[in-house]
Structure 1
Amino acid sequence: MLNMMQDCITPTMEQLMFFHDHIMMILTMIMMVVSYLLNNVMINKKMNNNLLDGQMIELIWTIVPTMTLFFIAAPSLRLLYLMDEMNKPMMTMKIIGNQWYWTYEYSDFKESEFNSYMETYNKNYRLLDTDTRMMLPTNTFVRLMVTSSDVIHSWTLPSTGIKIDGTPGRLNQASTLMNRTGIIYGQCSEICGANHSFMPIVVEMMPINNFIKWMTK
């Protein structure tokens, strides 16, 4: 789908992609080594009936996995630190999941709440476009607060690395920073009823000056 093929639009998602490539490289090396050893075991006909222990090989297969786990854990801990909540966001966006549409509220502005329904007449982006898009400024730290008015929803934007569950009676939050302008697409990622597939998400990023003009119309 289109929303799965979009480029990374936040520093967090870029780091997640780098981490994915890093893990895939390590897994590929492990697979090649294990396949080579298994192949040697299957074609090797030599046996040593007097072999009682192998302290050196046991030391090797203890140290090597430990070092491998270290090379996996170190960047993952760094990534968890980068994904941590920010203390002073520049603006807050409240998102409410409903059956089956989204309600957006700009908490820092007065009378700025609207509903976003799926656009039924768009043939180019079927099931992805909405009648009203959520607008966000670029290069701005934004706090996203997600909840639900009925059942559990999940507000998901794959190209930003954001997936937040909207739970009735609870506010879940995440932080983001969009580093370029454009339009990104997402969908509810939690089965929330019969029309679960018909509540898409569309976010349009614009320079902060244009965003202020849009908010003050």
Structure 2
Amino acid sequence: MMMTLIMMNFNFNNSLTMINMNKINDLLFILMCNIMMIISILIKFNSNSKFKNKMIMENNTMEMIWTIGPMIIILLISYLSIFTLYMNNEFKINNISIKINGNQWFWSYNYINFNIKFNSYMLINKNFKFNILETDNNLILPINYQILIIISSLDVIHSWTIPSINIKIDAIPNQINNYYLILNKINIL
């Protein structure tokens, strides 16, 4: 039997932001593995060598390399991640607006464009299929549409999250937080 992501409780990527973040993560993982492999090979062959470098303590070239090398790696990481961070916070023309209010023990949803309102309560069931995330009324999000999520709270601080699309927004009383979102796959979030 072949292992899949869902068997290990990993979520599939359901948003463009999450896909871009995973690509950056994969690239940086490969980069760091290569750096560690090169360093371990250098240490292994340097420790077995009979010849020792007398200039190791005052070698200006080596000091420049191990100062500029990490700077280049940090610039590469920031260059790769700035696009994803910019696209995540870019103002877009939203097709659908969803207002979410956090209440104690339930969430209130309002599709502003369609004038649809409902409350979502956690199901009290002993056989959970999705941990303790099952509710009586689910939020349905369309794919390939720009969605504006407006979130606030009516009583205390809440945290609204969907891990598979890399979204976690704090619902704070008297404060409005928003998030732009585009889903690219049909899935149960």
Q: 1:106 to 1:6 in 2, by over 3 A?
A: same
Q: Partner residue of 2:120?
A: 116
Q: 1:159 to 1:52 in 2, by over 3 A?
A: closer
Give the one of 158, 169, 172 matched to 1:164: 169
Q: Partner residue of 1:132?
A: 137
| Distance in structure 2 (CA, Å) of the matches to 1:5 and 1:71 | 28
Cα offset, 1:81, TM superposition: 1.6
Aligned length: 183
TM-score by length of 2: 0.83
Cα offset, 1:42, TM superposition: 5.7
Structure ranking higher in strand proportion: 1
Q: Partner residue of 2:3?
A: none
Preserved CA contact (<8 Å) 2:152 2:176: yes
Which amino acid is the alignment partner of residue 188 of structure 2? I
The 5 A counterparts of 1:60-139 are 60-110=65-115, 112-121=116-125, 123-125=127-129, 126-139=131-144
Cα offset, 1:124, TM superposition: 4.5
Give the stretch that moved more between structures: 173-182 or 63-72: 63-72
Cα offset, 1:6, TM superposition: 2.1
Give the one of 150, 154, 162 matched to 2:155: 150
Cα offset, 1:9, TM superposition: 1.0
Give the stretch that moved more between structures: 166-175 or 78-87: 78-87
Preserved CA contact (<8 Å) 1:23 1:72: yes
Give the one of 17, 24, 35 matched to 2:29: 24
Q: 1:54 to 1:128 in 2, by over 3 A?
A: same
Which amino acid is the alignment partner of residue 121 of structure 1? N
| Distance in structure 1 (CA, Å) of the matches to 2:61 and 2:92 | 51
Cα offset, 1:54, TM superposition: 0.9
Q: CA RMSD in A?
A: 2.5
TM-score by length of 1: 0.74
Which amino acid is the alignment partner of residue 70 of structure 1? L
Cα offset, 1:151, TM superposition: 1.8
| Distance in structure 1 (CA, Å) of the matches to 2:65 and 2:26 | 26
Q: Following TM superposition, where does structure 1 have runs of at least 4 consecutive aligned residues deviating by more than 2 angstroms?
A: 1-4, 29-53
Give the stretch that moved more between structures: 175-184 or 24-33: 24-33
Cα offset, 1:134, TM superposition: 0.7
After superposition, give the CA deviation of every residue in 1:150-175 in whole Å (9 maximum; x if it has no partner). 22111111111111111111011111
Which amino acid is the alignment partner of residue 111 of structure 2? Y
Preserved CA contact (<8 Å) 1:122 1:129: no
